[in-house]
Amino acid sequence: MKQYGLYIFDLDGVLYRGDEVIHETPEAIARLKERGALIRFLTNNSSKTRRQYADKLKALGFSSTENDVYSSASATATFLQQANARSVFIVGEEGLREEIETKGVRIDHESADWVVVGICRSLTYELIDQAQDRIRAGARFLATNLDATFPDSGGRIRPGAGSMVAAVSAAADKPPDLLIGKPEPTIVKQIWADTGVTPERTLLVGDRLDTDIQCAINAGCDSALVLTGVQSDPEHLNPKPTYILGSAAEVV
């Protein structure tokens, strides 16, 4: 594997599963930094703020700051601010809410011109009903990401935001108007704008073909699929990554 100037790592299933660190990944990232490479973290999971993800990474042994972390929640908040959204109805968790409020966007579940759906562990029939009713009334429908599942500790696979988006979409009889997270290349392009690194010098490391690897293809950079998350079978891969690794530790 050639060396890159910028490594973008997904989190769930790549660096950790739940609160379990995947073998030797903190040491591998430390070695990349010693070589002079830039490290950024990119997650589709909208449940936490960037600061919370940075704190979790540090607690698990990774060297990181809030500025190193990019997420579908923070990117959604930035988009809504730039779009001059007046008010938002959220199907999601506190991290998504905090990121949106930080950008000065009002959260109003009575009258909203946007409905934002991310991972929501407290999803109820009533919440789906309210969301689809607002979409049918004309509110625009934004999905933070479409990951149907995500890997957790103990080898568990749990429902992801894509499952919640599918429920709201089916009830509203309408697909999302906008998708923010991977496989859309929006956040990767923002990382390039912030770091000044070119696509040719970037490697995106992830565990999902449909989000991580497709995102790299859409953005125009190399990719590495690790077999520690959702995708564990190295055969018959579509789309095809640039590299297939047993774990993220193999990037060094």
Q: How far apart are CA 160 and CA 214, in angstroms?
A: 18
Which position has the token pair 């919440």?
A: 127
Angle between helices 72-82 and 94-102 (to 10 degrees): 40
3-state class (DSSP) for residue 224: strand
The secondary structure of residue 85, as a DSSP letter, is -
Copy the structure tokens of residue 174. Answer: 């309408």
Known catalytic residues are 10, 12
Angstrom CA distances, 173 to 11, 91, 136, stand at 32, 17, 9
Region of residue 36 (phi > 0: left; psi between -120 and 50: alpha; otherwise: beta):
left
The single-letter code of the amino acid at 32 is L
